[in-house]
């Protein structure tokens, strides 16, 4: 009987963003990035290769996906088959505990979990670096979700040199994020399409790559110093520069909603009142607030003027991937 392998991977939120690819096939980014893996949001995926299957079967949150919707997953499974010599089709069962396509990095945890489960089920015994390289081929940010805590993805120049590694895990100081979940709906333009448009049309793109490299150096130092204020300030500036690129593209686009701006203003107001908190955003409307655990109550109380309590989710530093066979 074919073995079933289950992997669990947590999402990560980039503190220094990657925004733009230099090789879309290999998913090589234009610049490196640094993220924090979170405990609250994760994907759990089981994979088994079975000779009796006549096509890949993909089940997502209890629903069987059509071949069209499953195409990206099947392409990734083809890569695993190519690397392992496995010839059978796969049954994939995924449970995603992340709002999909809303800027909460669901593809990061999704492809990290798929890489872990599928590679092991196909007979590969990859170390974490090679698993990171493999996950990258499904979704760039998935390369970071292989690891827990603070993680850096080295941009690299080819398949071998583009991978993630741990900067700090476990995280032994008081830092967390509060996710302000505004709407778990499809975004106006996918990350892939948005990045490509920015790289091709924004006159400011070369400056982004330069400043991102400087941000990486500063962020490494801030994490090593366990300096929440520096981590937050660098992350906030980096995020707004990324979103400024989107506004400078042709045609321009953005992921903000009115509620996004409300959350940003609330964080800015709290900081002016002496609360040490900062915001970051990915390709979606949701705002993530970087703060200390001791300030959770005061931040949530302030935000509950504008948002329902269930929209405010506290997430602490999370673990790396786990893989089990049964």
Q: Which two tokens stand for residue 285?
A: 């409307």
Among 85-89, 142-146, 179-183, 246-250, whose mean pLDDT is lowest? Answer: 179-183
Q: Is 115 in contact with 134 (CB distance < 8 Å)?
A: yes
Task: Enter the tokens of residue 59.
Answer: 């089940």
Q: How far is residue 148's CA from residue 257's CA, in Å, rounded to a whole number? A: 31
DSSP, res 309: G
What would the two tokens of residue 159 be? 């398949």
How many Cβ atoms sit within 10 Å of the Cβ of residue 59? 16
Residue 28: what pLDDT? Answer: 98
Share of the chain residues as helix, strand and coil, in percent rounded to the nearest 5: 40, 25, 35
**CA 211 to mean position of chain CA atoms:** 21
Percent of the chain residues past pLDDT 70, beyond the cut: 96
Q: How confident is the model at residue 184 (pLDDT cuts 50, 70, 90)?
A: low
Picking from 148, 89, 177, 159, the residue whose alpha carbon sits closest to that of residue 318 is 148
pLDDT tens digits for 249-284?
A: 999 999 999 999 999 999 999 999 999 999 999 998
Averaged confidence pLDDT in the chain = 95
The token duo for 324 is 């089990």
Tokens of 91: 């049954």
- In this prediction, residue 227 carries a pLDDT of 98
Residue pLDDT, tens place only, 63-109: 999 999 999 999 999 999 999 999 999 999 999 997 654 556 689 99
191-236 confidence digits (pLDDT tens):
899 999 999 999 999 999 999 999 999 999 999 999 999 999 999 9
Residue 106 has what pLDDT?
85
Q: Compute the C-alpha angle 242/250/184, nearest 5°.
A: 55
Q: Could you give phi then psi for residue 198, rounded to 5 degrees?
A: -65, -45
């Amino acid at each position: 009987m074919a073995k079933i392998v289950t992997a669990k991977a947590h999402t990560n939120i980039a503190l220094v963003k990657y925004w733009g690819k230099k090789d879309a096939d290999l998913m090589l980014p234009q610049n490196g990035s640094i993220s924090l893996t979170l405990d609250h949001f994760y994907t759990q995926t089981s994979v088994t290769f079975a000779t009796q299957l006549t096509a890949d079967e993909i089940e997502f949150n209890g629903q069987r996906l059509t071949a069209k919707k499953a195409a990206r997953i099947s392409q990734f499974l083809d890569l695993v088959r190519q690397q392992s010599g496995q010839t059978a089709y796969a049954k994939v069962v995924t449970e995603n505990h992340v709002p999909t396509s809303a800027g909460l990095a669901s593809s990061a945890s999704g492809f990290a979990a798929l890489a872990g489960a599928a590679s092991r089920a196909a007979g590969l015994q990859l170390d974490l670096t090679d698993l990171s390289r493999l996950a990258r081929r499904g979704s760039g940010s998935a390369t970071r979700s292989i690891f827990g805590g603070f993680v850096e993805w080295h941009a690299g120049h080819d398949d071998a040199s583009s991978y993630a590694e741990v900067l700090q895990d476990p995280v032994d100081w008081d830092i967390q994020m509060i996710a302000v979940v505004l709407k778990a709906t499809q975004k106006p333009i996918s990350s892939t399409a948005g990045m490509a448009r920015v790289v091709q049309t924004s006159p400011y793109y070369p400056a982004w790559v330069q400043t991102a490299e400087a941000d990486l150096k500063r962020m490494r130092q801030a994490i090593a110093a366990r300096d929440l204020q520096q981590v937050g300030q660098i992350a906030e500036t980096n995020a707004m520069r990324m979103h400024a690129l989107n506004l400078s593209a042709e045609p321009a686009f953005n992921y903000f909603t009115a509620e996004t701006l409300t959350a940003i203003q609330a964080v800015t107001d709290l900081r002016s009142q002496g609360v040490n908190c900062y915001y970051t955003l990915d390709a979606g409307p949701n705002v993530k607030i970087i703060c200390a655990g001791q300030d959770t109550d005061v931040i949530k109380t302030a935000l509950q003027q504008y948002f329902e309590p269930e929209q405010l989710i506290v997430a602490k530093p999370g673990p790396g991937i786990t893989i089990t066979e049964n």
